[in-house]
Amino acid sequence: MNWTDERVEKLKRLWSEGLSASQIAAQLGGVSRNAVIGKVHRLNLPGRAKAGGTVATSRPAAKRPAAPTTPRATNFPARPATVRPAPRTVGATALKDDLDIDTAQVLEYVPVSNASLPTSLRLTLTELTERTCKWPVGDPLKDDFHFCGCEASESSPYCKFHAKMAYQPVSERRRA
């Protein structure tokens, strides 16, 4: 179905008279209610009176939130969460309890100074075997790039130290 000039004029007239999209579709014939709604939207015809509201003359442009001018650092203290008491209702939602939300705790990163790192054997790609750790160290585009090279277990391509870094438990990943 094509929207001819006559059909568009009839649509505008019927819309201004206050007919519903279904009624307009029935009078135009060969067009669905959704097609009428889409055409009204594309023509930017004035909206309808809502229950208890006013008639909108045109669709307001969607407002986008302003982009922050400076990036936020991750070490800012978190805002305390506000708890609004939920009204008790009947039915299926009656079993839901009010949630007590504690304020977020700000964790500060403190590098460990007494950690013992394994001594890297600094192997190149051609020197790796099935029993050596294949943990990459550094930038692959730089000359000092190498692999750990420590002894790896049979079930992992990494040594014990790098396996702990690579395979974190699900609960710890969720916390992070």
- Give the tens place of pLDDT for each residue, 132-154: 999 998 898 988 899 998 989 88
Tell whether the model's pLDDT for residue 12 goes beyond 50: yes
Return the top range by mean pLDDT from 52-56, 79-83, 101-105, 121-125: 121-125
- Asked which of 1-10, 94-103, 118-127 is least confident by mean pLDDT, the reply is 94-103
Confidence of residue 35 (pLDDT cuts 50, 70, 90): very high
User: How much is the pLDDT for 105?
Assistant: 72
| CA 21/CA 34 separation, integer angstroms | 8
Looking only at the bridges linking them, the beta strands covering 136-137 and 146-147 are antiparallel
| CA 99/CA 95 separation, integer angstroms | 12
| CA 161/CA 172 separation, integer angstroms | 17
Outline where DSSP puts E strands in 24-163.
136-137, 146-147
CA distance to 7, 54, 111, 160, per residue, from 114 (Å): 80, 69, 9, 18
CA 10 vs. chain centroid, Å, equals 43
Tell whether the model's pLDDT for residue 87 goes beyond 80: no
Q: What is the DSSP letter of 136?
A: E
First to last CA, the chain: 56
The whole-number average pLDDT for the span 44-66 is 59
Check: pTM over 0.85? Answer yes or no. Answer: no
Q: Which among 164, 166, 176 is positioned nearest to 109, based on CA atoms?
A: 176
| CA 46/CA 90 separation, integer angstroms | 40
pLDDT > 90 fraction of the chain, expressed in percent and rounded: 25
Tell whether the model's pLDDT for residue 41 goes beyond 70: yes
